[in-house]
Chain A
Amino acid sequence: MTHWWHLALFLLGAGLILFIAWRLFAKASVLTARAADAAEYRAIFDSAVEAMAVIDAAGIVQSVNPAVERTFGYAPEEMIGGNIRMLMPPEIGGGHDDHLGRYRQTGIRAVIGIGREVMGQRKDGSQFPLDLSVAEWQRGGETFFTGIMRDISARHAAETKLRSSEERLRLLQHEFAHLARVNEFGEMAEAIADEINQPLTAIVNYLSVGLFAAEEDGNGEAEQLMQQAIDQALRAGDMVRRIREFVDYGHGVRTVWRADGLVDSAMALALVDARSSGIIVEREAGAGDAAVEVDSAQIRQVLVNLLRNAVEAMADDDSPGEARVTISTGLRPDGAVEFAISDTGPGLSPEVREELFQPFFTTKANGMGLGLSVCRRLIEAHGGSIEADSAPGGGATFRFQLPRFGSSPDLLFSPHC
Chain B
Amino acid sequence: MADTYVIAIVDDDDAVRHSTAGLLQRAGHRVDSFTGGSEFLASNLPGALDCVLLDMRMPGVDGLGVMRALVEREIPLPVLVLTGHGDVPMAVEAMRLGAIDFLEKPYPPAALFDAIMRACSAPPPGASVAPVNKQAQAKVAALSDRQRDVLRGILKGQPNKIIAWELGLSIRTVETYRAQMLEKLGVRGTAEAVRLAIAAGLGDSAPAG
Contacts and interface: CB of A to CB of B under 8 A. Distances in A.
A241 B105 CA distance: 10
A198 B86 contact: no
Interface string B1-31: 0000000000001011011101100110000
B84 A194 contact: yes
A234 B106 contact: yes
B61 to A, nearest CB: 10
Interface string B74-104: 0000000010111001100000000000001
A233 B85 contact: no
Interface string A233-253: 110110001001100100111
Contacts of A205: 16, 19-20, 22-23, 109
A151 to B, nearest CB: 50
Contacts of B106: 197, 200-201, 203-204, 233-234, 236-237
A245 B178 CA distance: 13
A73 interface: no
B109 A241 contact: no
Contacts of B146: none
Given A199-B15, A202-B19, A203-B106, A354 B59 contact: yes
B166 interface: yes
A208 B21 CA distance: 12
A-side interface mostly: helix
Given A200-B106, A354-B59, A415-B166, A251 B159 contact: yes
Interface string B141-175: 00000000000000001111110011000000000
Interface in B100-131: 104-109
Contact of A244 (B26, B57, B86): B86
Contacts of A253: 161-162, 165
B60 interface: yes
Contact of A194 (B59, B85, B159, B161): B85
A55 to B, nearest CB: 66
Nearest to A204: B106
Contact of A230 (B20, B57, B109): B109
A416 interface: yes
B186 interface: no
B59 A358 contact: yes
B18 A202 contact: yes
A354 B61 CA distance: 9
Given A209-B23, A248-B159, A355-B59, A202 B16 contact: yes
A380 B13 contact: no
Contacts of B89: 380-381, 383
Contact of A251 (B19, B158, B189): B158
A197 B190 CA distance: 17
B105 to A, nearest CB: 4
A349 to B, nearest CB: 14
B22 A200 contact: no
Contacts of A251: 158-159, 161-162
A373 to B, nearest CB: 10
A25 interface: no
Interface string A128-162: 00000000000000000000000000000000000
A416 B166 contact: yes
A376 to B, nearest CB: 11
Interface in B154-209: 157-162, 165-166, 189-190
B108 to A, nearest CB: 6
A142 to B, nearest CB: 77
Given A209-B22, A237-B105, A244-B85, A198 B16 contact: yes
A22 interface: no
Nearest to B19: A205
Contacts of A381: 89, 157
A41 to B, nearest CB: 72
A240 to B, nearest CB: 9
A62 B87 CA distance: 82
A249 B95 CA distance: 23
Nearest to A231: B108
Contacts of B20: 201-202, 205
Contacts of A209: 19, 22-23, 26
B13 A202 contact: yes
Contacts of A355: 59
Interface string A178-190: 0000000000001
Contact of A234 (B13, B19, B108): B108
A251 B15 CA distance: 32
A253 B166 CA distance: 10
A103 interface: no
Interface string A18-42: 0000000000000000000000000
Contacts of B109: 204-205, 208, 211, 230
A193 interface: yes
B207 to A, nearest CB: 18
7 contacts: A201-B19, A202-B18, A205-B22, A236-B106, A237-B105, A248-B160, A355-B59
Given A198-B15, A203-B19, 10 more contacts: A201-B13, A202-B16, A204-B108, A204-B109, A206-B19, A230-B108, A234-B106, A241-B189, A245-B190, A381-B89
Interface of A: 190, 193-195, 197-206, 208-209, 211-212, 230, 233-234, 236-237, 241, 244-245, 248, 251-253, 354-355, 358, 380-381, 383, 415-416
* 6 closest cross-chain pairs (CB), A and B: A205-B19, A202-B15, A208-B109, A194-B84, A197-B84, A251-B159
